Amino acid sequence: MAGVGLLNFGFEFLEIFAFIVLATVGLAVIFGMMGIINLAHGEFILVGAYATTFAFAAGLPLPLAMLTGVVLTAVFGLVLERLIIRHLYGRLLDSMVVTWGISLVMIQLVRIAFGNAAPGIGIPFGELPVVDGPAYYLVLGVLAVGVLGGLYALFMWTDFGVRARATMQDAETARSMGIDTDRMYMSTFAIGSALAGFTGALYAPVMTITPQYGTGFLVEAFVAVVVGGSSVIVGTLLASGFLGSVNAVFTNVTESTFIGLVAMLLAAIVTIRLMPDGITGFLETVRQRWGENR
Residues at the contact surface with other proteins, assessed by CB under 8 A: 37, 84, 87, 91-94, 96-98, 100-105, 107-109, 111-112, 215, 218-219, 222-223, 225-226, 258, 261-262, 265, 269, 272-273, 276
Least gap, CB of 102 to other proteins (angstroms): 6
Give the residue with the Cβ less far from other proteins, 65 or 85. 85
Give the residue with the Cβ less far from other proteins, 112 or 130. 112
Least gap, CB of 283 to other proteins (angstroms): 17
Least gap, CB of 226 to other proteins (angstroms): 6
Least gap, CB of 282 to other proteins (angstroms): 12
Q: What are phi and psi of 104, to 5 degrees?
A: -60, -45
Environment class of 241 (CB within 10 Å of its CB; exposed 0-12, middle 13-18, buried 19+): middle
Give the residue with the Cβ less far from other proteins, 101 or 149. 101
Give the residue with the Cβ less far from other proteins, 179 or 262. 262
Least gap, CB of 124 to other proteins (angstroms): 29
Give the residue with the Cβ less far from other proteins, 2 or 83. 83
Query: What's the distance, CA 44 to chain centroid?
Result: 10
Give the residue with the Cβ less far from other proteins, 11 or 189. 189
Neighbours of 110 (CB within 10 A): 22
DSSP labels, 184-223: HHHHHHHHHHHHHHHHHHHHTTTS---TTTTHHHHHHHHH
Closest residue by Cα to residue 48 from 19, 24, 77:
77
Q: What is the DSSP letter of 130?
A: S
What is the C-alpha separation between 97 and 94, in angstroms, rounded? Answer: 5
**241: which residues sit within 8 A by CB, 6+ positions away?**
17
Least gap, CB of 291 to other proteins (angstroms): 23
Give the residue with the Cβ less far from other proteins, 67 or 238. 238
Cβ(33)–Cβ(19) below 8 Å: no
Least gap, CB of 237 to other proteins (angstroms): 20
What is the C-alpha separation between 119 and 200, in angstroms, rounded? Answer: 14
What is the C-alpha separation between 62 and 197, in angstroms, rounded? Answer: 14
